[in-house]
Structure 1
Amino acid sequence: MDFINKKRMPVEVPEHVFEEVTYKVDGINVRGLLMTPQKSVERIVIYLRGGKGQVGKVRAARLMQFSDPNTLVFGPYYRGNNGSEGKDEFYGRDLNDVAVAIRILNMMYPKAYIHMVGFSRGGLQGLLTYQDLPVSSYIIWGGVSDIKLMYEERVDLRGMLKRMIGHPRKNEMAYKERDAVVTIHADSPPILIVHGGKDVQVGIHQAYYLEKQLKRIGTFFKTFYQMDEGHVPRPYAMKEALSTVKQWMTDIERQNLKAEYNK
């Protein structure tokens, strides 16, 4: 299990190398953008994009927001998007595109902490996969937590959801398969919920729903709500959100180190 091809990308930054990588998933070639530090890799951030096709595509600038000298950041494109083979199934077999990439990186850097960040559509992409992978935490940012809520909220996306998944009543099983909450348990990795109160693309009720379910299940989580922000925070609010996310990762890693020391 490894990347089968690497293509150097024309992104010049002092401490990292950008490459478009290809890897095999279910017999097809899937691509993603990899940002590798020049120094040793101590932390891995998996950025799960939102949108579909060119909307919400993985960009170098987005990966760089999570970088530091010892952090590797990777964003899978998902099958059927941006040169990846196959068809995007919107939380179907494209979930394997996330899982396989993480297992490859875990094999390459077994001592590095892994944190997943699911943005928008990527929120549910992460919730459906994170608890079965070697990750330290999951950050859901402006993310979808329930596909039925998404269907109800985004009238403009119902046509796309019907084409890709079906109608919630007529294709009930397809929606049940995309219900992440039933797979989360009390011992699942901790979750940080980040959301804007004025988000009209993914309403904050998606965050409230997840918060309620995690309380019921007993999963450790924290919330960071910016009530005056939309789907993408304004620059000063983005700085605050990124600082909170990075501090969360550091705190989780320190707790893990303490747990290892006390064994």
Structure 2
Amino acid sequence: MVCTSQTAQAISKAALLAAALSSQSLSAATMAAPSCRATVYLTFDTGSQSQAQLIAGTLRKYQIRATFFLANEKTVRGDYSLDQSWQPFWQQLARDGHAFGSHTFDHVYVVRDLPDGRIAVKPQFGPQAGKTLQWTQAEYCMELRRVTERFQQLTGQKMDPFWRAPGGRLTPGLEQAGQRCGMRHAGWAPAGFSGDELPSEQVSNARLLNKMLNGLKDGDIVMAHMGIWSRKDPWMPANLVPLIEGLQQKSFCFATLREHPLYR
């Protein structure tokens, strides 16, 4: 009888423990998978890279995947963003599951389409920096692919088939050049413009944050830089976490452009 009683007690305790664990697991699963009322797509263009580690750490903390558009830009470290010195950073972002697109290697701005089908462009970096050049669509495509090739060298992974023109300026000829490369151009929503390039003396971080929180809607693409040289009061440290938490409170979720209806 003693043996039977002890066995019954053990079985009862095991059942209670299993029920408690099951309840906890269900509760944890419910908390870990909140319902999404809408989805926004965070994207970041290379820049001075002053906020690069902050962005990477914040996204990791909140378990958010974003999309990065890469160009070989001068950084606050005195090197360039696609130098070998940045390899561990890009490798880690790739392991974290983020998406990546080309932003032209030398951060090449479009000037205008030319009557003969070529494109007038002006690189910001590289040996031809500051010069107005005339490129064919094939030459512009080669510039986009310089980034994809360098990214694969640094990370061992292929880039995604989308790109973004510096400044977001797109002409018909430029769009055709991207299509020639098998890439689709990704702009951003008006409410998704972070304003991190604007003078902080004229537009405060609080004002920019409020505009985004009140204006973003389902499917919108958000654009910010990984560091801006000119803005005295940087947008990123003040606004990135409040933006994420504010959108989460509104039941927004986040995804990469791989999941966007126009790019997946």
The question of a shared fold, defined as TM-score above 0.5 by the shorter chain, is answered with no
Q: Which has the higher contact order (CA 8 A, sep 6+)?
A: 2
Which protein is richer in helix relative to its size?
Answer: 2
Larger radius of gyration: 2
TM-score (norm 1): 0.31
TM-score (norm 2): 0.31
